[in-house]
């Protein structure tokens, strides 16, 4: 099979923790497409395929190689029209981007703080050195100082999730009556922390926590054991 999804992993080569890779894992499962999940480290990324990528996901699908989770999802829907749609109509293609923008601007900064030390601790020594240097340059402080904000970010998270909580009060999935790429966009974002940290982000009896558990159950529970698909 010449369909490969390159995925950032911990030192154990089993803990797939990239939020954007998770979006694509769920998209491939939704489309009923088989794939090999190829674990990579930070150091491996520039050697993937033709060497033009600086981040994952990267998908090789036969002769096609592409990055960026949203672009990959669009490509999958356009290429494989006989399996379920990731976007139900043109409006959904546009509006799923709003879910992406919400995740990027509202949730990512919080989650980056909450998960920072757990991410660091699951990496290989080489990846730890790369990650520490890159994050400390970007945030202008040691990782350990960044991590001091984690409890505050956890406490603020329920309010940041208020739009999702409100929506899930009226429908089962972000995408309506069945899950689709908008759900996988938010799921991937939260799954990042779920994979890295042992302290759950969400209460199971919260409406968002219950939706997240239902996402984990999709596709034979791939969210609970990504290595099963490889």
Q: Shortest distance, CB of residue 149 to a second copy, whole angstroms?
A: 16
Minimum CB distance to a second copy smaller for 12 or for 166: 166
Q: Shortest distance, CB of residue 162 to a second copy, whole angstroms?
A: 4
Minimum CB distance to a second copy smaller for 89 or for 125: 89
Q: Shortest distance, CB of residue 19 to a second copy, whole angstroms?
A: 16
Minimum CB distance to a second copy smaller for 106 or for 116: 106
Q: Choose among 67, 38, 85: nearest CA to 184.
A: 85
Cβ atoms of residues 4 and 36 within 8 Å:
yes
Q: Which helix (H) or strand (E) holds 66?
A: strand 64-67
Tally the residues of the chain. Answer: 230
Question: In whole angstroms, what is the distance from residue 229 CA to residue 25 CA?
Answer: 9
Residue 169: both structure tokens together: 């009060």
Question: In whole angstroms, what is the distance from residue 93 CA to residue 85 CA?
Answer: 11
Contacting residues for 196 by C-beta, under 8 A, at least 6 apart: 15, 17, 115, 118, 119, 122
Minimum CB distance to a second copy smaller for 8 or for 103: 103
Question: In whole angstroms, what is the distance from residue 76 CA to residue 86 CA?
Answer: 8
Q: Shortest distance, CB of residue 23 to a second copy, whole angstroms?
A: 16
Q: Shortest distance, CB of residue 205 to a second copy, whole angstroms?
A: 20
Minimum CB distance to a second copy smaller for 25 or for 107: 107
Residue 130: both structure tokens together: 């790369």
What are the backbone angles phi and psi of residue 217, rounded to the nearest 5°?
-80, -15
Minimum CB distance to a second copy smaller for 14 or for 165: 165
Q: Shortest distance, CB of residue 208 to a second copy, whole angstroms?
A: 12
**Interface with a second copy by CB under 8 A: which residues?**
87-99, 101-102, 104-106, 162-167, 170-171, 173-177, 180, 182
């Amino acid at each position: 099979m010449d369909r490969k999804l390159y995925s950032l992993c911990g030192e154990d080569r089993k803990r797939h923790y990239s939020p954007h890779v998770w979006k694509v894992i769920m998209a491939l499962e939704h489309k009923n497409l088989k794939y090999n999940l190829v674990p990579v480290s930070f150091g491996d990324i520039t050697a993937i395929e033709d060497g033009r990528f600086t981040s994952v996901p990267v998908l090789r699908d036969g002769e096609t190689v592409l990055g960026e989770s949203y672009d990959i999802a669009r490509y999958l829907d356009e290429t494989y029209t006989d399996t379920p749609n990731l976007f139900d109509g043109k409006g959904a293609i546009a509006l799923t981007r709003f879910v992406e923008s919400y995740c990027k601007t509202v949730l990512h900064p919080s989650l980056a703080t909450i998960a920072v030390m757990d991410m660091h601790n699951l990496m290989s020594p080489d990846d730890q050195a790369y990650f520490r240097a890159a994050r400390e340059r970007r945030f202008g402080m040691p990782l350990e100082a960044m991590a001091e904000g984690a409890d505050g970010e956890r406490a603020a998270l329920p309010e940041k999730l208020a739009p999702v909580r409100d929506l899930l009060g009226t429908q089962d999935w972000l995408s309506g009556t069945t899950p689709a790429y908008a759900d996988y966009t938010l799921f991937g974002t939260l799954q990042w922390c779920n994979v890295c940290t042992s302290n759950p982000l969400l209460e199971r009896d919260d409406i968002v926590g219950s939706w997240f558990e239902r996402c984990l159950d999709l596709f034979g529970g791939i969210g609970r054991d990504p290595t099963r698909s490889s």
